[in-house]
Structure 1
Amino acid sequence: MIKPVTHVLFDMDGLLLNTEDLYTVAFQNIVSQYGKDYTFNLKLKLMGSQAHETAQTIVSELELPITPEEFIHESKKQFEVLFPDTNVMPGAKKLIEHLHNKGIPLGLATSSSEESYHLKVDKHHQALFSLLPYKTFGSSDPNVKNGKPHPDIFLVAASKFPEKPQAEQCLVFEDAVNGVKAARAAGMQVVMVPDPRVDKSLTKEATIVLQSLEHFKPEIFGLPPFED
């Protein structure tokens, strides 16, 4: 049953920015040096994870002859090249600007580090992301003890709103299965915009599933509708 909400939290990678595609390129560039493939099934396990969790899993699953720390070091070199030219996903700008203009409190809850966030946003997207004033960076925030699918990041993110909303008053937007699980574990409703390759059976925990943010109707959750 869908209930009205007052506050909104957005994931970033793969939802607001096309960075999930860029992570795939970066990680494949690294693992191919060792004759390995970064498969979509492995990516599915990792979407929403913090940096150290991602590195540990990739090194372990692909049996790479490097440490997780070395993988993170190599990743950062890839990111510096790839991330400055990210693109905003369809519908994201319109939705954020609409909710901001209607006075809905907005926050960002990303597993990315603060350093990674600035690489992705500073060159082209500062104005848009300034409309999400309450930001939580999972890989940098000591209060986020566990990455998604644990609820930590969304509980920490919600606590940053001055109004201190209850969990059920918050709506989360996510693209990743782990992110949906995290939002549900936090007691929040969640709109999922999955990669089209994600099996439908993995999207069942979401409150609603959309092909694109362009299809979101705010009034379903008691938010001000678009004025077309």
Structure 2
Amino acid sequence: MNAQLNDLGPIKAIIFDMDGLLLDTEGIYTEITQLIAERYGRTYDWTIKQNIIGRGAADLARYVVEALDLPISAEEFLVMREPLMRERFPRAEAMPGAQQLVRHLKQHQVPIAVGTSSSQMSFGEKITRHGDWFALFDTIVTADDPEVTAAKPAPDIFLTAARRLGVAPGECLVFEDSPFGVTAAKAAGMRVLAVPDPAMADTKFAQADGILRSLKGFQPAACGLPHLVWA
């Protein structure tokens, strides 16, 4: 289904998740986790992946180590994957419609932010090829931001973004691809549209105010923002 955006009311600011929403990094995470799992003769597949999309690094690592019964600690898992991420993140591609939507909103002076579970360091690696349009965001809030005390599904990241934008949470619209992110946005008192991985069941997004198959399914005019003609 597509969201009934006219039910959202007027929106004054938009906050975007990054991984799997603005940038196609989920495939990179999958490849890296599979490589580590294979070192120990384990198989990492969708049955596990669907439960970690959107988690913060520490929470994700604990879940993977336990689910795969890896003979390493969560901390060792994170250390192991660090060089693999540094090597692969710079090749991340933009998700369909992401750059056009961001440029459109900036052109029309709509406050925009990124609220991501990534650390500041991995954020920098991921935007290697996208610095020009990521520079358009009014603020970037990462999971290790000094003002963030808890990662998603806690609301801290989104509340920090709204505070810096100077917009009330109830007037913010969040785009998310993960159930954890949707939970965080709703806990922050915001409206949220899910743009999930095609393999993710819609039932996992019951909290969302709507589900889109792509950012290109979003019509800003339906919630009081300037009209966009998608290319």
Question: 1:37-186, aligned counterparts within 5 Å?
Answer: 37-122=43-128, 124-138=129-143, 140-161=144-165, 164-186=166-188
What is the CA–CA distance in structure 2 between the aligned matches of 1:147 and 1:68, rounded to whole Å? 16
TM-score normalised to structure 1 length? 0.94
Work out the percentage of aligned pairs sharing the same amino acid.
Answer: 40
TM-score, scaled to structure 2:
0.93
Q: Which whole-Å CA distance do the structure 2 matches of 1:227 and 1:175 have between them?
A: 23
Preserved contact between residue 194 and residue 211 of structure 1 (Cα < 8 Å): yes
Q: What is the aligned counterpart of 2:215 among 207, 210, 213?
A: 213
Is contact 1:8-1:171 (8 Å) kept?
A: yes
Q: Deviations over 1:84-129 (max 9, x none)?
A: 111000000110000000000110000000110111112x100010
What is the CA–CA distance in structure 1 between the aligned matches of 2:18 and 2:156, rounded to whole Å? 16
When the two chains are superposed, the root-mean-square deviation of aligned CA atoms in Å is 1.2
CA apart distance, 1:227:
4.5
- What SS class does the counterpart of residue 216 from structure 2 fall into? helix
Point out where structure 1 has 5 or more consecutive residues left out of the alignment.
none
Secondary structure, counterpart of 1:30 in structure 2: helix
- How many residue pairs are counted as aligned between the two chains? 224
2-side partners of 1:5 and 1:46: how far apart?
Answer: 30
The residue that corresponds to 2:3 in the other structure is none
**Residue equivalent to 2:10:** 4
Paired position in structure 2 for 1:202:
204
| Partner AA of 1:170 in structure 2 | C
Q: Which runs of 4+ in 1 moved over 6 A?
A: none
Structure 1 Cα separation of the partners of residues 219 and 134 of structure 2: 21
Distance 1:125 1:178 in 2: 25
